[in-house]
Structure 1
Amino acid sequence: MTQASQTQAPVAHRQSAARSRGTRGFALLAWIVALSCLLPMVAVGIAALTGGVETISHLADTVLPRYARTTVYLVLLVSLGTFSIGVGAAWLVTMTRFPGVRFFEVALVLPLAFPAYVLAYAYTFLLDHPGIVQSTLRDVTGWGPRDYWFPEIRSLGGAALMLVLVLYPYVYLLARAAFLQQSSSAFLAARALGDSSWRAFWRVSLPMARPAVASGVLLAVMETIADYGTVAYFGVQTFATGIYTSWFSLGDRGGAAQLALCLLGFALMLAVAERVSRGKARYHHAGKQQAALPPATLSGGNVIAAWVLCALPVIFGFLVPLVSLTLMGLESEQNLLSSRYIAFIKNSLTLASMAALITLLAAVSLGFYQRLRPGKLSSTAANFSRLGYAVPGGVIAVGLMVPFAAFDNALDAWMRANFGIRTGLLVTGSIWLLVMAYVVRFMAAALGAYEGGQATVHANMDAAARSLGQSPFGMLRRVHLPILTPSLLTALLIVFVDVMKELPATLIMRPFNFDTLAVQAHRLAADERLEGAAVPSLVIMAVGLLPVILVCRQVRRRT
């Protein structure tokens, strides 16, 4: 062996050892993240099973059937509404051409900026008995309160409408992407065999887009069962409101854990049912012809119908609540620049920034571990981490509060017994546990954005970096992160805005006297001070516009 070969061997061995240590480091980080995301679900299950038969029997005899029935009805209404609006709007703007279609391509995404509970405040201000619409109706007609019938906005149907108006963009975006990617071959073949355009849509185009549409509807359903602000304000009793009532109003943590387990099981059942119903069905383009389907040009009455169908969701999902909240804000006595509101904004930005940054770092660890070691082990870690998005914020809050409250109590008792020192709520009284809840809740969103960008990094780049002696961390820092900067910023922004809007976990877990804009809006609305609630709601909406603008730019690039 030559002297050069003898010199190169130890160097290669050291580089291999460094790469192995780097891989083990990312594996350790990834599994810490995965097990942290799994912890709330396990804790809820243990707390529910140890809560005693008496509690669950009492719930089953009293509130459980009502919670289950109302939650199912709400899910069915939101599923039907988001499917109808999202798929219909996506088909119109993708497969037809009419004046204004380019505007509607973007405008149909705008309602995504609003949390559903903000829409609830706006429409209550407009449609409730003392609201503008009914007051004007009584003034014009001279009717008394009992002389006419008006739909009750504070109802199950009203809550479903609010959720549909803000959640249909999930279905619209995914269905539109699926329609854009479809080849014209199958649709034209159906037309050649005698199907009308409408029949070909139902028999060919919609089934081919089913995975994307089902994913959008499932996202809307998960947001529906996780919602607390809307249903609580409208007095609709669901599992989400039951968890909060059991925890705070009744002080029954065992009951809250058992309700949380029911809701967790319901959420996971929905996800599994959609996957099972799809089975092994796959949709592939036949042959090499990938030409997009030429859009049909509308004329006459069809143009008016298309305008109405596309304009209604934008008007009622964005313009009406924006105008309503603005009018309410102008009439309120809330000062956004006061020290109190500055504290709310500061708290909201602090939580959102910390959660977004930590979630992004955790998502990079998971995604890069999958890149380094593809296989069942890394996929399992990623799947564990994604579970949080299918779990409502109230369930995550209960799942984290139960074990960490027990830890705080045990630590406090031990410190007092041995040192005479009271530690109090060391963990549960801090914002860090709340940040952890946000990380668990929104990890799937950050991981999805990161993986989408990582797919564009060719494997040859990894091989080239390794051949130049880069460790895994060096490859991530010098190769991946510079390329993935847009995806990283997208993930950061999505989590930041989601945390700004999150309500149930914040209500349950926030430290004493640490309120956010979402909590302030909820408190003022609960006290029927809707004009005051409009001010923090408008700030939340303005922040929510940031990812919507980002999505709109992506929609523009695709067309």
Structure 2
Amino acid sequence: MTLFPFVSNRPARTAPRLLSVLGWSIAAVCLLPMIAVAIAALTGGTDTLSHLLGSVLARYAGNTVLLVLLVSAGTFAVGVGAAWLVTMTRFPGVRLFEIALVLPLAFPAYVLAYAYTHILDHPGIVQTTLRAMMGWGPRDYWFPEIRSLGGAAAMLVLVLYPYVYLLARASFLQQSGSTFMAARALGSRPIVAFWRVNLPLARPAIAAGVLLAVMETIADFGTVAYFGVQTFATGIYTSWFSLADRAGAAQLALCLLSFALLLAMLERAQRGRAKYHDPSRGQKHHPPLDLAGWQAAGAAALCGLPVLFGAVVPVIALFNLGLGSEQDLLSQRYLGFVRNSLTLAATAAVLTLGAAILLGYYQRTRPGRASATATYAARLGYAVPGGVIAVGLLVPFAAFDNALDAWMRATFDISTGLLITGSIWLLVFAYMVRFLAAALGAYEGGQALVHANMDAASRSLGKGPFATLRRIHLPILTPSLLTALLIVFVDVMKELPATLIMRPFNFDTLAVQAYRLASDERLDGAAVPSLVIVAVGLLPVVLICRQVGRR
């Protein structure tokens, strides 16, 4: 028995307990929007639901499902095809393409929508040139309509295929060449061997990439809204603002939330069942196929087209539009947009990174069902669209603000107004819920570098969990933490639906300004903030490209 039990035992007990409280508090914040949406939808009455069922629900569901199917097929074809070509073959420029194919990831889909509307719409350069060359009138020819569901799917495929490309390429690089060579020795052609051997082995990684693209698709608002495609994302915004129907917005948000969570569960179940074992893995690398002549030219063209249409053409179009606009980036108004965007992005990135560190460290120091459940709950936010999170946070906090204001009026004859609703901090919490999974992924990837023996050595020297985190983990994890910080920063800069719904009055960002100008058909003005968003988005993409080049 020690004379001072509180001195020796209290730190060891208090720190893990505090980590548990903080970890579950973060998980509760992430679950709050989903719970609030479900309660608001189920208590909103049946009149609104009946009206939705008889009017727009079938259209929203059909368009959303069709968009998901088109984007899934497109990202699979482009991402897997490009990954196989740069990994399994050799042709002129392959080293450049394996990095350049990641570049479209820096572009929000709505920015591509603005660029290609300028190029392909009726007054655009393509149709104008066709009419001038052929002598056609406005009704003398048929041209694909860019402002359509197919056009929205094309924009989303161009910016989302890098998810599939990166994961598929990593899987192909990890595969041994023995199975492929065995298939070739049995008489299979390269494309047949790829289809029967390489593709099944890479199926878990490819499925994960496609599901990531699908989650981003159902969360997209800017592209479908600009092209006039009615999906659940646009329906939530219309119900909330245009119709002032809070119950309808909550019920639509619940439908979209159910769809997103179903996809998240499918991804987790697919990942859990997929177990592939290759005893020859890593013993012999896959022998690349040397292409020449028309085959090399075809491979270069297939790899170059996604980069051309996903990055090069949009930048040229936006730059050309921006030169002819009257938008001045150095004006006080635009500096305010930049300042607001940077303030939100920096604050949200720091808060999200802090939450990811606490939650990841809680799971490391207290492994078990409780910490795993808290981490899984925190990750669900990435599968929830920004519009759903916005509705889920505004409904309970608006009720709280109104109740507090009524009580203060009745008791002290003082009006408190809206203390939380419409504040920057509520918007920052929405960003944290939305992007915490991305920060957690980057943090956990770096945490593998910290061996368990380091924790044991720190404890043997009398250091508690928080001292170990500060003096050992954080210095080692600095590169991963900076990557996580940058990823969340750029994601917040691009986020549109949550910002549109939750931003404080007269607090506009670059994304909001671009959307507003594009909605007014002022594409030349929308090009300027769009280019700034793309320039910022290139930062994490450059980091990813460097990692791809090193590997």
TM category, shorter: over 0.9
Q: Is structure 2 residue 334 aligned with structure 1 residue 341? A: yes
Separation of aligned partners in 1, 2:284 and 2:3: 56
The alpha carbon displacement at 1:193 in A equals 2.9
SS in 2 for 1:211: helix
Q: Answer yes or no: is the 8 Å Cα contact 2:174–2:281 preserved in 1.
A: no
SS in 2 for 1:171: helix
Q: Answer yes or no: is the 8 Å Cα contact 1:15–1:469 preserved in 2.
A: no
The residue identity in structure 2 corresponding to 1:267 is A
The residue identity in structure 1 corresponding to 2:202 is A
Separation of aligned partners in 1, 2:274 and 2:225: 40
Matches within 5 A, 1:413-432: 413-432=406-425
Q: Answer yes or no: is the 8 Å Cα contact 1:128–1:134 preserved in 2.
A: yes
The alpha carbon displacement at 1:275 in A equals 4.1
Q: Answer yes or no: is the 8 Å Cα contact 2:219–2:386 preserved in 1.
A: yes
Separation of aligned partners in 2, 1:181 and 1:192: 21
Matches within 5 A, 1:152-191: 152-191=145-184
| Structure-1 residue corresponding to 2:73 | 80
Separation of aligned partners in 2, 1:324 and 1:417: 58
| Structure-2 residue corresponding to 1:224 | 217
Q: Answer yes or no: is the 8 Å Cα contact 1:185–1:289 preserved in 2.
A: no
| Structure-1 residue corresponding to 2:427 | 434
The residue identity in structure 2 corresponding to 1:345 is V
Structure 1: state its 5+ residue gaps: 1-5
Q: Is structure 2 residue 481 aligned with structure 1 residue 488? A: yes
Matches within 5 A, 1:444-523: 444-523=437-516
Aligned with residue 544 of structure 2, among 523, 545, 551: 551
Which sits farther off after the overlay, 137-146 or 305-314? 137-146
The alpha carbon displacement at 1:186 in A equals 2.1
Which sits farther off after the overlay, 282-291 or 346-355? 282-291
| Structure-1 residue corresponding to 2:14 | 21
The residue identity in structure 1 corresponding to 2:100 is A
Separation of aligned partners in 2, 1:367 and 1:521: 36
- Percent identity between matched residues is 74
Matches within 5 A, 1:65-104: 65-104=58-97
Aligned with residue 538 of structure 1, among 527, 531, 535: 531
Which sits farther off after the overlay, 289-298 or 235-244? 289-298
Separation of aligned partners in 1, 2:223 and 2:386: 14
Separation of aligned partners in 2, 1:15 and 1:107: 56
Separation of aligned partners in 2, 1:199 and 1:125: 41
The alpha carbon displacement at 1:289 in A equals 5.5
Aligned with residue 205 of structure 2, among 190, 200, 212: 212
Separation of aligned partners in 2, 1:546 and 1:242: 33
| Structure-1 residue corresponding to 2:32 | 39
Separation of aligned partners in 2, 1:418 and 1:329: 55
The alpha carbon displacement at 1:359 in A equals 0.1
SS in 2 for 1:149: coil
| Structure-1 residue corresponding to 2:374 | 381
Structure 2: state its 5+ residue gaps: none
Q: Answer yes or no: is the 8 Å Cα contact 2:221–2:496 preserved in 1.
A: yes
Q: Is structure 2 residue 383 aligned with structure 1 residue 390? A: yes
How well do the aligned residues superpose, as a CA RMSD in angstroms?
Answer: 1.3
The residue identity in structure 2 corresponding to 1:319 is V
Aligned with residue 412 of structure 1, among 400, 405, 410: 405
The alpha carbon displacement at 1:274 in A equals 4.0
The alpha carbon displacement at 1:429 in A equals 2.2
Q: Is structure 2 residue 397 aligned with structure 1 residue 401? A: no
| Structure-2 residue corresponding to 1:529 | 522
| Structure-2 residue corresponding to 1:320 | 313
The alpha carbon displacement at 1:190 in A equals 2.3
The residue identity in structure 1 corresponding to 2:432 is V
Q: Answer yes or no: is the 8 Å Cα contact 2:176–2:281 preserved in 1.
A: no
SS in 1 for 2:273: coil
Separation of aligned partners in 2, 1:10 and 1:97: 73
Which sits farther off after the overlay, 200-209 or 303-312? 200-209
Q: Is structure 2 residue 363 aligned with structure 1 residue 352? A: no
Q: Is structure 2 residue 265 aligned with structure 1 residue 258? A: no
The residue identity in structure 2 corresponding to 1:404 is F
The residue identity in structure 1 corresponding to 2:190 is S
SS in 2 for 1:235: coil
Q: What TM-score results when the alignment is normalised by the length of structure 1?
A: 0.97
| Structure-2 residue corresponding to 1:3 | none
